[in-house]
Amino acid sequence: MGHQVFNIQEVADYLHIASADVKLLVRSSEIPFERMGPRCMFRKQEIDAWASQRILGLHDGELTNYHRETTRKAQRFDEEESVVRTMVQPEFVVADLTSKTKAGVIRDMVTLAERTDYVVYPEDLLASLQERERMGSTALAGGLALLHPKHHDPYTVDRSFVCLGRTVQAVPFGSPDGRTTDLFFLICCQDEKLHLHALTRICMMCYHTSVLFDLREAKTAEEMFDCLCKAESEVQQCV
């Protein structure tokens, strides 16, 4: 599956965008592709990494539209459309991480992920997270980061899940606004389409609700989990 290739229409369907938009991205060399004679081909692993980075950089209207499309796609295939209620549990949330460096946060988030009992190869997960961060920080403005592996291999985890850690002390994590980060989501999915949907949903929650403020005000992990559920319900009503 890692060597799968797409044509223009297939990659457009995969990314929930119009084929005309893919052609524009090709002309401007903004998307990874290869020429095979007169045709453009797209390697799945390269598209997966590119798509995740693209979502992190989407602006308000673009993010809203993309979230609407990924949600409709999930509903169309009768997939579970909720992210928080199906991928997060209260015990997957920690309110007092003591990490003080970027490397420490990544290690501690892998340790938190191991508590889910869904991680098959924690060393591989750690390596993939580190590799993804070397491509570019997953930190966003507002003091949050959306950690995720570079590749989404089914053998790495038994099922898809999301963890959330809040550090006692905000740490430098490469945020585009130059500020420190204290809220860290870890998104581990067996399927790339689910990953893109979860990534988009969490971005929407963070930028279209008060969840970042609420998560910082929450006293316990259980309260933080309740904040996530409330925020997801709000964005679902906007689809």
Provide the CATH number for the domain around residue 128: 3.40.930.10
- pLDDT over 50 at 1, yes or no: no
**Torsions phi, psi for 104 (to 5 deg):** -65, -40
18 and 101 together in one domain: no
In a domain, 160, yes or no: yes
- Asked whether the beta carbons of 215 and 186 are under 8 A apart, the reply is no
The number of domains in the chain is: 2
48 and 97 together in one domain: no
Determine the structural domain holding residue 98 and report its residue range.
84-236
pLDDT tens sequence across 91-146: 999 999 999 999 999 999 999 999 999 999 999 999 999 999 998 899 999 999 99
In a domain, 88, yes or no: yes
pLDDT tens sequence across 30-60: 898 999 888 899 988 788 778 877 887 777 7
Write down the pTM of the prediction.
Answer: 0.79
Please return the burial class of 185, using the count of CB atoms within 10 Å of its CB with bins 0-12, 13-18 and 19+.
buried
Report the pLDDT averaged over residues 12-28: 87
